[in-house]
Amino acid sequence: MRNRSGRIGALLALLVAAAPVPARAQEPSDQKPAPQKPVKKKPKKAPPAPPEPEPTPAPAPAPEVAVVAPPPPAPKAAADVNVNVNAPPAWDETDVTEKDGHKYYFLGARYRGYVIPKAFINIFVSGGAWVYSNSVGLELDIRKDGFSIIPNITYTEYSTGDLLFLQHGESYMDVGNWSLVNSGIKVLYAGADFLWSAKISKNVDFEYGMGFGLGVVFGNLEDNWVTTAGATATYVNASGQTVPALAGSSVVSGSNQYFVPCTTTGPTGCNLGDHAGATTAKVGDYQEPHGFNPIPTLFLNVSVPQLGLRIKPIKSFVGRISAGFNIPNGLWFGFSGDYGFESAIDKK
């Protein structure tokens, strides 16, 4: 133990003795020591950066392939719903289709010619002649689902020349049974036609139906009694013209009498006593009063049946060719032309 401690102590002494002692330069006592320069510290070196990993080689580029884009799909109707609904359809004047449940209006003018056969007149009186009268007017066609209601206002003129009439069922040998009539009657009617139609082709329909009218009578109706005259006699008619006497034989077969109108009472056939039940002498171009006896102030006419063709070549025009039978006007034919108020928006 003692030897071990001695060895340790000897070792420590050797270490102390071996430590270097810094040498000091001897300087004169009056000389100050030179200042020591500051020791610059060397900056610490940063630790070396870890080695960078080697870059991974990039993969070889893929070969370029030309890609053709598919054509854009056709627009669907659903995508254009707003456009189709809001924009009016293109106008086609030749498209004459009339939609079910839709109302169409047409305004125009009409003409009708009435033919009253002598045989029709002879139902009421004997004699007379064929009578033709003209009628013109305005009409409004209100049409829906192939059915037309046509309100109308028409002007009809029942003008005639001198017509010799014999009281129905009376003897033609009695001059008191004859009268000379000259009509200047005119009637303004308000009425309506009711027409159904059946399609024949795109532009043509067959129409059938009826019509009614109520008219106001104005104008003059001359009614003169007559007296016998020679075959060469003449008289002045309502127009102021001098014309031959009327030949009864041209009216009633077997009669050889000639007549002239009564200008005053006196001659045979010109007196109240010559006419049964007469209270007014009808001489000197007598004017029948407007009333219900013998001429009604209001005049009713009925057209049954009424047949024709309705022709519609374009939207804005409709024409009609018609014919029928009318009471009291007899047979008639006519035509009309109407302007249509249809617009492109109606075709939606």
What are 284-321's pLDDT values in tens digits? 889 888 766 566 688 899 999 999 999 999 999 999 99
Look at the domain 106-347 and name its fold: Porin (2.40.160)
pLDDT number for residue 28: 47
> Which residues of the chain are under the pLDDT cut of 50?
23, 25-29, 79, 249-254
SS (H, E, C) the chain: CHHHHHHHHHHHHHHHHHCCCCCCCCCCCCCCCCCCCCCCCCCCCCCCCCCCCCCCCCCCCCCCCCCCCCCCCCCCHHHHHHHHHHCCCCCCCCCCCCCCCCEEEEEEEEEEEEEECHHHHCCCEEECCCEEEEEEEEEEEEEECCEEEEEEEEEEEEEEEEEEEEECCCCCCCHHHEEEEEEEEEEEEEEEEEEEEEECCCCEEEEEEEEEEEEEEEEEEEEEEEEEECCCCEEECCCCCEEECEEHHHCCCCCCCEEEECCCCCCCCCCHHHCCCCCCCCCCCCECCECCCCECCEEEEEEEEEEEEEEEEECCEEEEEEEEEEECCEEEEEEEEEEECCCHHHHC
The answer to whether 181 and 165 have CB atoms below 8 angstroms apart is yes
Domain ranges of the chain: 106-347
- At residue 175, the pLDDT reads 85
Nearest Cα neighbor of 211 from 307, 309, 115 is 307
298 CB-contact burial (10 Å; exposed 0-12 / middle 13-18 / buried 19+): exposed
Residue 288: the pLDDT is: 84
What pLDDT sits at residue 113?
96
Confidence (pLDDT) at 314: 94
Asked if 325 contacts 303 with a C-beta cutoff of 8 angstroms, the reply is yes
| Nearest one of 14, 294, 69 to 165, comparing CA atoms | 294
Which of 190, 177, 182, 191 has the alpha carbon at shortest distance from 274? 177
pLDDT at 116: 85
